[in-house]
Amino acid sequence: MPPHRSTSTRVRRVNIPFVPAANRPLVDGFSRVVTYLRVSVTDRCDLRCVYCMSPEMTFLPRKDLLTLDELDRVCSAFIARGVRKLRLTGGEPLMRRGFLDLVRSVARHLGSGDLQELTLTTNGTQLSRYAADLAAFGIRRINVSLDTLDATAFRKITRGGDLAVVLEGIAAARAAGLKVKINTVALRDLNEEVFEELVEWSHARGMDITLIETMPLGDTGEDRTDRYVPLSRVRSQFEKRYTLVDLADTTGGPARYVRVTETGGRLGFITPLTHNFCQTCNRVRISCDGTLHTCLGQDDRVDLRKALRTSSSDEMLNDAIDGAMRQKPLGHDFVIERRGQSPALSRHMSVTGG
């Protein structure tokens, strides 16, 4: 017989602290905490990389893009809710008019200590002009995309870009005191013979480098099965020549890092297609039209622009963010497409931001 319980037993009330939505941490349905936000500030770009854009891109009408004030407001709302690292990207972020004003404004959260890192991903073409300002506003590290050191191959991969301009940009960034990490997308027949050269070149200049598997995002006018290089194979090739020491370093994303003993530098592998990194996912993305994507590899979306434009208070915005957090999928389901099929997701990386 269970002991008799008196109905008058006094229950101790537990005080659950009330946290207003504007400061509530971003926790999804799988208890993952979001602390990293990537924001695409434009879908436009001065290059047309074969894995990212089609030669004839149609860009969004300007009215559909978040304004600089809206970008600042949405970044600030996420920072208030626990985002500690913020990456500005695109398209090419340095092509967005007023971009430096946005950086200066968002950087106030670095000053207050609410934001730990403000960074950007760029193709480097405008760095000679802007690197000193970026450093002055508090940016310490940037990622620069560079897929080859050969001017002809660079022109082919970017459909017309000038390698010399990017190399000058990288030099300017380093001279301004910015720490540069190189991002290289692995592309069959375009750069797979030059990974070692790129790694040695980067490490000789004190720059980390990350190799990235091409992801099936958006129509690029190319068949991606022809370009896909599994990085597991690249790593095996490296191991024939170098000693790779696994590092525990992680950003909560799909990159895994090794130290290359011979060069002393760090090399990352981003393998969204061959490894599952979703259990530790700590990030969400906002595309340049204000759509919140809680998973790069799924088509989930929540319209934040509507909330931003409907009300000047952040209540609607925070409700929309809460709704998105509840829907954040457990993981992506990228599959590299069979020849001739459409991409896994129709949106381009340049809209969502890499």
In the complex, what is the shortest distance from the CB of residue 273 to ligand SAM, in angstroms, rounded to a whole number? 9
Binds 48, which of ligand SAM, ligand SF4, none (CB < 5 to 8 A, cut-off by type)? ligand SF4
123 binds ligand SAM (CB under 6 A): yes
Answer yes or no: are the C-beta atoms of 153 and 191 closer than 8 Å. yes
Burial class of residue 1, CB neighbours in 10 A (0-12, 13-18, 19+): exposed
In the complex, what is the shortest distance from the CB of residue 54 to ligand SF4, in angstroms, rounded to a whole number? 10
Near ligand SAM by CB under 6 A, which window of 18-26, 212-220, 290-298, 308-316?
212-220
Element (H, E) at 257: strand 255-260
In the complex, what is the shortest distance from the CB of residue 89 to ligand SF4, in angstroms, rounded to a whole number? 8
Largest Cα span, the chain: 85
**Residue of 28, 72, 92, 213 that binds ligand SF4 (CB under 6 A):** 92
50 binds ligand SF4 (CB under 6 A): no
**Residue of 28, 32, 48, 51 that binds ligand SAM (CB under 6 A):** 51
210 binds ligand SAM (CB under 6 A): no
Answer yes or no: are the C-beta atoms of 211 and 194 closer than 8 Å. no
116 CB-near residues (< 8 Å, 6+ apart): 84, 85, 110
53 binds ligand SF4 (CB under 6 A): yes
Q: Which two tokens stand for residue 230?
A: 């599994």
Near ligand SAM by CB under 6 A, which window of 117-125, 173-181, 261-269, 284-292?
117-125
Q: Which is nearer to ligand SAM, 325 or 344 (CB)?
A: 344
Rg (CA), the chain: 22
Q: Which two tokens stand for residue 286?
A: 């906002």
Q: At what angle do helices 315-327 and 68-80 cross, to 10 degrees?
A: 60
The dihedral over CA atoms of 305, 310, 314, 319, expressed in degrees to the nearest 10, equals: -70
In angstroms, the CA 273 to CA 3 distance is: 57
Q: Which residues pair with 33 in a beta bridge?
A: 27
Q: Which is nearer to ligand SAM, 234 or 325 (CB)?
A: 234
Q: Which is nearer to ligand SAM, 268 or 354 (CB)?
A: 354
Q: Which is nearer to ligand SF4, 123 or 294 (CB)?
A: 123
**Residue of 28, 32, 41, 48 that binds ligand SF4 (CB under 6 A):** 48
Site string for ligand SF4, 114-153 (x = CB under 6 A): ---------x---------------------x--------
170 binds ligand SAM (CB under 6 A): no
Near ligand SF4 by CB under 6 A, which window of 49-57, 66-74, 220-228, 246-254?
49-57
User: What SS3 state is found at 277?
Assistant: coil
DSSP H stretches of helix in the chain: 68-80, 99-106, 108-111, 127-136, 151-157, 163-175, 195-204, 231-241, 304-310, 315-327, 349-352
User: What SS3 state is found at 87?
Assistant: strand
In angstroms, the CA 94 to CA 102 distance is: 11
In the complex, what is the shortest distance from the CB of residue 286 to ligand SAM, in angstroms, rounded to a whole number? 14
**Residue of 77, 91, 293, 294 that binds ligand SF4 (CB under 6 A):** 91
Site string for ligand SF4, 203-242 (x = CB under 6 A): ----------------------------------------
**Residue of 35, 145, 191, 271 that binds ligand SAM (CB under 6 A):** 145
Backbone torsions φ then ψ of 85, nearest 5 degrees: -130, 130
Site residues for ligand SF4 per CB under 6 A? 45, 47-49, 52-53, 90-92, 123, 145, 350
